[in-house]
Chains A and B, each alone.
Chain A
Amino acid sequence: DAGVIQSPRHEVTEMGQEVTLRCKPISGHDYLFWYRQTMMRGLELLIYFNNNVPIDDSGMPEDRFSAKMPNASFSTLKIQPSEPRDSAVYFCASSATGGNQPQHFGDGTRLSIL
């Protein structure tokens, strides 16, 4: 069974550029989550979707961040314009419906903004 697939695995870009991170959840999972992980703040939830609809985006740091889920098998997280403080590892996770279902994570995108 394929797990959650994220691309790219690494991204290095200059400040001010647009960055797009991609995620393919596990087939059949109704929930999709985007997280950011840093040493200082740990794993922070940015936004999550249920059946392709954004449910809670209260963790999105600024208007520079946006996320979409055009269909059940694809989601993007976009940062425009990017800033050095956006450097972190970004994870996508998916889960099935039902209380306390575990989340299945991809291996993340390591983003470095110079």
Chain B
Amino acid sequence: SQKIEQNSEALNIQEGKTATLTCNYTNYSPAYLQWYRQDPGRGPVFLLLIRENEKEKRKERLKVTFDTTLKQSLFHITASQPADSATYLCAQGPSGGYQKVTFGTGTKLQVIP
């Protein structure tokens, strides 16, 4: 079955540094990966999408990479701020259906002032 893994350990970094989160996939080659942010008590919010034929995607301080050889996506937040503290989820798709995606369990990021 399709599996997508994120580091379940929380990531603590100092304000101003670059945060790097990892998403690994197995048993499947997704056509795209999506990254979402989830704050406590709220639903996930879409941030970025990267397709399998794209190596890198950027949006403001966010950067996502997609390495099909390593079966891995990296999500970077540069110049991190305490407001970036949240749980970040990656999702692979399509996953058994045109619009379906499979979510990882998320990595909690804490940016320390």
Contact = CB atoms under 8 A, between A and B. Distances in A.
Chain B associates with chain A? yes
A102 B105 contact: no
Interface stretch (B21-29, B64-72, B77-85, B95-103): B95-103
Q: Which secondary structure dominates where chain A touches chain B?
A: strand
Contacts of B102: 45
Contact of B101 (A42, A103, A105, A107): A103
Contacts of A107: 41-43
User: Interface size for chain A: under 10, 10 to 19, 20 to 34, or 35 or more residues?
Assistant: 20 to 34
A105 B58 CA distance: 23
Interface residues of B, number: 25
Contacts of A45: 100, 102
Interface in A91-114: 91, 93, 95, 97, 99-108
Contacts of B49: 100, 102
A94 B6 CA distance: 24
Contacts of A93: 43
Contacts of A106: 43
Interface of B: 31-32, 34, 41-46, 49, 51, 89, 93-94, 96-106
Interface of A: 4, 31, 35, 41-43, 45, 48, 50, 55-56, 91, 93, 95, 97, 99-108
